[in-house]
Amino acid sequence: MQALDELIAHVPTFAGLTGEQRKLIAGCGQNEHVAAGSMLFSEGEPANTFYLVRRGLVALEVHAPGRGPLRIETLEAGEVIGWSWLFEPYRWQLDARALEPCDVIAFDAACLRGKTEEDHELGYQLMARFAANLVDRLQATRFQLLDVYGNTEVPA
Amino acid sequence: MATLKSQPESELLGPMVPEPFVLRSKRQETEDTWTLELVSAARERGIAFAPGQFTMIEAGGAGEVPISISGDPSDTETLTQTIRAVGLATAAICNAQPGQLLGIRGPFGNSWPVQRLEGLDVVVAAGGIGLAPLRPAILALLANRERYGRLVLLYGARTPGQMLFVEELHEWHNRGFEVHTTVDSAGPEWLGHVGVVTRLIGRADLDSGFAGLTCGPEIMMRLTALALADFGIEGERLYVSTERNMQCGIGHCGHCQLGPWLLCRDGPVFDWQTIAHWLQLREV
Amino acid sequence: MTQLTSRVLEREAFDSLIDALAARGYAVIAPTVRDGAIVYDEIATSAQLPIGLTDEQDGGRYRLVAREDDALFGYNVGPQSWKRFQLPASRRLWRGALDANGNVSEIVEDRDEPGRYAFLGVRSCELRAMGILDRVLLGATRPDPTERSVRANVFVVAVQCGQAGGTCFCVSMETGPTAQDGFDLALTEVLEEGRHYFVVQAGSNDGAELLAELPTEPARPAELEAATTAHERAAAQMGRELDITDIRDLLYRNYDHPRWDEVAERCLTCGNCTMVCPTCFCTTVEDVTDLAGTHVERHQRWDSCFTIDYSHIAGGAVRSSPRSRYRQWMTHKLATWIDQFGSSGCVGCGRCITWCPVGIDITEEARAIRASEEEPVASA
């Protein structure tokens, strides 16, 4: 089985990191399998773990009374789920559910937060990558909000 | 069925006189969108068109609208049009019953450059009802499958219930298109992607060797073009289909102007290199 | 002007021209006075022309005032152009039957026979406008089989301007004031001490044939010189100027210029400019049914890009702000028209300036945009 640090080398989010940095990150991670339908995390829980999807499809959802779970976005192989572990109060704001059987790498957030405290260069590199990720997803979310396919009416 | 009594065919009719077509059948695609199949009432022939062209359609005297032809270009007997009811004229067309006569003028406009793309990989990015004007191009590409490299379809709709041509998506997949779909929002029964269509681009393993055809609401086309450009799919190898108000369809009434272009004559299909600047200006 | 092709017609004999046209079956359309303005209407004698009148024109201002002489053509252009003969303000395209099931049938197309007209008093700018309109209308992707060039159908008697109007800028647009071709006959009116005559040139075989029937004398050098003086006087009196150097690209570069915001504060989007302009050609098509729902007609009528509906697509109007609509009109007229039809859309007649209720001046707007590019960059 491939070592974790080699696995994450091919993930866009971790591209360009040094071998040493990848080892540090991999040291906080472990492979996990998630059954279809299982929750990876739920709204309100402490954000102690974040995930990299290696195989499968994960949905970000929010549940509304009477409307059931509303699917906000789906994430698949190569994509990182979760940023709430980076910022206080370290609490998840959405549900994440596996739509299919998934192989993920689960990273211990506390472990990684500790390492970035010691190694600010590693911290900076991770922040820069997550920031780029956030920008992409924010842009896509804004586009999604526009509801461009809707039967638009001119606001009065 | 009403009989036709018009001027003798020996007299050439003016370009503003519609030709009668009979509605043979219609199929409801979504809550407000129907696909109509029409055949010519006046003559033996059907209609020859190139993928991307449009007709001016009217029903019941309720006014004409430009609608892209959504049918198979190799079927010259049937005129297929997919229409969304958004106003009086389109509602009248969508309410038409089999056997009713609709007035058709056209086909007008230019077309998706399907032949020019031979030898290339092609990505078709469709948003919402934008899949309808692309369907003839998809069918034309599949009709000569061996002349193209990879064929990729990225299709985004608002919700699963608002997807068009759902059964055909499987058929296109079987015939050689890599099909990726996504919706903006979905309930729990949807097990596919949720997110905007541009999110599919990164997942489809595209590269700069691809040519692109994209159609949908203008915002979607602009943002899709920007996203495709990240993969080197841009400039003269990326095509969009534009839309403006049309009254005549024949370059006479002035309404369909988009900067220096008359869409009924110079469009509606343009390459991104030519049209990007004009689409990115506001209120042009 | 050469001596060979020019003849002189005395004022007293002017009606022979009108009579000769009428004898050929032409309805003679010429300037007349109505409601304090000069409009084109059918005439039978020269007495119906705006004799002894001139016009004072400026931004948002038009007045007819008396001249000190009895010139027949001593004014410039009024609110009307000749375009309604090429493109009717309103016409029915076809009519048909409508049944209870929504079937339209028994369509009968309206095929109006083009009238047989002689236009008497066409200015150079107007001649050019007719040519521009012909190129637009006859260049449609599906030409109407009933549409023919105005030039092919109409006997044109041009009048070479002897003075320019307050809003004229045909010299800038290179469309006048002296017509070189495109007419059957061209007249230059000359009023001298004790004499009132017209120097007449034939510009076509039809024109030469008709001219041969009129009581004229060969033009003498002094008379030719008087005509030339009149032409030069008109050219020197232009009320406005528009620098057309690179005008297309100048406007293409400036779609976001703040000047558009400035003019938008004044523009009422009333569309007067589009109605009086001799080249504005936009039309809208409407299908109308009667109250009983048994008949349907398709009508075509003049439209204006200044209306909010003009650019309507599903979701709303593309050009909802007045700023964008004024910009559309002006950039179409001076810039995109060139790419669409191969020439400028503007002939410098000045009507849009005169008939704008707030006096917006296309030449001033163009000047302001051009001037801002030539300003030295302000230091920080």
Q: What is the pLDDT of residues C65-76, one digit of tens each?
A: 999 999 999 999
Assigned token pair, B4? 């036709």
Gap between the Cα atoms of B64 and A123, Å rounded: 61
* Cβ-based neighbours of B54, under 8 Å, separated by 6 or more: B66, B67, B68, B69, B106, B107, B108, B109, B133, B249, B268
**Binary contact (C141, B87; C-beta < 8 A):** no
Helices C205-213 and C14-23, interaxial angle, to 10°? 120
Q: What is the least distance, in Å, from the CA of B191 to any CA of chain A?
A: 6
* Partner residue opposite A152 with nearest CB, options C315, C317, C320: C315
Assigned token pair, B240? 């969009």
**Residue A70: strand, helix, or coil:** strand
Assigned token pair, B68? 């892209």
pLDDT beneath 70: ranges in chain B: 1-12, 44-45
What pLDDT score does A57 carry? 96
* Partner residue opposite A71 with nearest CB, options B156, B157, B185: B185
Helices A120-145 and A109-118, interaxial angle, to 10°? 130
pLDDT-derived band of residue A152, with 50, 70 and 90 as boundaries? low
Q: Could you report the predicted ipTM of this complex, rounded to two decimals?
A: 0.93
Q: What is the least distance, in Å, from the CA of C259 to any CA of chain B?
A: 16
> Are the C-beta atoms of C288 and C297 separated by less than 8 Å?
yes
Residues of A in CB contact (< 8 Å) with B are 57, 59, 68-74, 76, 99-100, 140, 143-144, 146-151
Assigned token pair, C153? 């159908």
Assigned token pair, B254? 């002035």
What pLDDT score does A60 carry? 93
Residues of B in contact with C146 (CB under 8 A): 14
Phi, psi of C284 (to 5 degrees): -120, 155
Gap between the Cα atoms of C281 and C82, Å rounded: 12
Residue C152 pLDDT exceeds 80: no
What pLDDT score does C159 carry? 98
Q: What is the per-residue DSSP string for B97-110?
A: -TT-EEEEEEEES-
> What is the mean predicted confidence (pLDDT) over C245-266?
97
Q: Does A148 touch chain C (CB under 8 A)?
A: no
Phi, psi of C281 (to 5 degrees): -125, 0
Assigned token pair, C357? 């209720």
What pLDDT score does A93 carry? 85
The rounded radius of gyration (Å) of the Cα atoms in chain B is: 19
Please give the DSSP secondary-structure letter assigned to residue C220: P
**Residue C300: strand, helix, or coil:** strand
How does the average pLDDT of chain C come out, rounded?
A: 94
* Cβ-based neighbours of B185, under 8 Å, separated by 6 or more: A70, A71, A72, A144, B158, B159, B194
What pLDDT score does B1 carry? 28
Gap between the Cα atoms of B213 and B234, Å rounded: 10
- Closest residue on chain B to C290 (Cα): B61
* Partner residue opposite C105 with nearest CB, options B63, B101, B252: B101
Tens-digit pLDDT profile for residues A79-127: 889 888 888 888 888 899 999 999 999 999 999 999 999 999 999 998 8
Higher pLDDT, A13 or B165: B165
For residue B39, count CB atoms less than 10 angstroms from its CB and return exposed for 0-12, middle for 13-18, buried for 19 or more: middle
**Binary contact (B195, A146; C-beta < 8 A):** no
Q: Does A154 touch chain C (CB under 8 A)?
A: yes
> Are the C-beta atoms of C210 and C185 separated by less than 8 Å?
yes
Residue A1 pLDDT exceeds 60: no
Phi, psi of C197 (to 5 degrees): -145, 175
Amino acid identity of residue C59, one-letter, is G
> Are the C-beta atoms of C256 and C377 separated by less than 8 Å?
no
Gap between the Cα atoms of C167 and C177, Å rounded: 13
> Which chains are within 8 Å of C by 3+ CB pairs?
A, B
Confidence (pTM):
0.90
* Partner residue opposite A76 with nearest CB, options B187, B198, B203: B203
| Vertex B244 angle, CA B12 and C362, to 5° | 100
> Are the C-beta atoms of C129 and C278 separated by less than 8 Å?
yes
> Are the C-beta atoms of A83 and A69 separated by less than 8 Å?
no
Residues of B in contact with A59 (CB under 8 A): 194
**Binary contact (A71, B129; C-beta < 8 A):** no
Residues of C in contact with B17 (CB under 8 A): 93-94, 107, 109
> Are the C-beta atoms of A125 and A15 separated by less than 8 Å?
no
Residue A38 pLDDT exceeds 70: yes
> What is the mean predicted confidence (pLDDT) over C7-32?
98
The rounded radius of gyration (Å) of the Cα atoms in chain C is: 23
**Binary contact (C314, A154; C-beta < 8 A):** no
Residue C208 pLDDT exceeds 70: yes
What pLDDT score does C140 carry? 87
> Are the C-beta atoms of C252 and C335 separated by less than 8 Å?
yes
Residues of C in contact with A154 (CB under 8 A): 315-317, 320
Gap between the Cα atoms of B89 and B95, Å rounded: 10
**Binary contact (B186, A71; C-beta < 8 A):** yes
pLDDT-derived band of residue A4, with 50, 70 and 90 as boundaries? confident
Residues of A in contact with B184 (CB under 8 A): 144, 147, 149
What pLDDT score does A45 carry? 86
* Partner residue opposite A143 with nearest CB, options B86, B129, B223: B223
Amino acid identity of residue C167, one-letter, is T
Higher pLDDT, C149 or C71: C71
> Are the C-beta atoms of A37 and A98 separated by less than 8 Å?
yes
Gap between the Cα atoms of C210 and C208, Å rounded: 5
Q: What is the least distance, in Å, from the CA of B194 to any CA of chain A?
A: 5
Residues of B in contact with A140 (CB under 8 A): 195-196, 198-199
Q: Does C309 touch chain A (CB under 8 A)?
A: no
**Binary contact (C106, B262; C-beta < 8 A):** no
> What is the mean predicted confidence (pLDDT) over C165-178?
97
**Binary contact (A71, B157; C-beta < 8 A):** no
From C142-151, C174-183, C297-306, the region with the lowest mean pLDDT: C142-151
Q: Does C315 touch chain A (CB under 8 A)?
A: yes
Assigned token pair, C128? 């050019």
Tens-digit pLDDT profile for residues C81-119: 999 998 999 999 999 999 999 999 999 999 877 789 999
> Are the C-beta atoms of B69 and B53 separated by less than 8 Å?
yes
> Which chains are within 8 Å of A by 3+ CB pairs?
B, C
> Are the C-beta atoms of B40 and B23 separated by less than 8 Å?
no
What pLDDT score does A104 carry? 96
**Binary contact (A74, B217; C-beta < 8 A):** no
What pLDDT score does C100 carry? 92
Q: What is the least distance, in Å, from the CA of A153 to any CA of chain C?
A: 5
* Partner residue opposite B198 with nearest CB, options A71, A143, A149: A143
What pLDDT score does C151 carry? 64
C-alpha distances out from residue C67 to B87, C27, C71, C73, Å: 57, 28, 8, 11
In a mutational test of the B interface, the residue from A146, A149, A153, A154 whose CB has the highest number of chain B CBs within 10 Å is A149
What pLDDT score does C150 carry? 64
What pLDDT score does A7 carry? 82
Phi, psi of C156 (to 5 degrees): -105, 120
Please give the DSSP secondary-structure letter assigned to residue B214: E
Residue A148 pLDDT exceeds 80: yes
Assigned token pair, C307? 């209306």
**Binary contact (B188, A72; C-beta < 8 A):** no
Assigned token pair, C302? 């003049």
> Are the C-beta atoms of C238 and C170 separated by less than 8 Å?
yes
CA torsion sign for B168, B170, B171, B176 is: positive
Gap between the Cα atoms of C375 and C224, Å rounded: 46
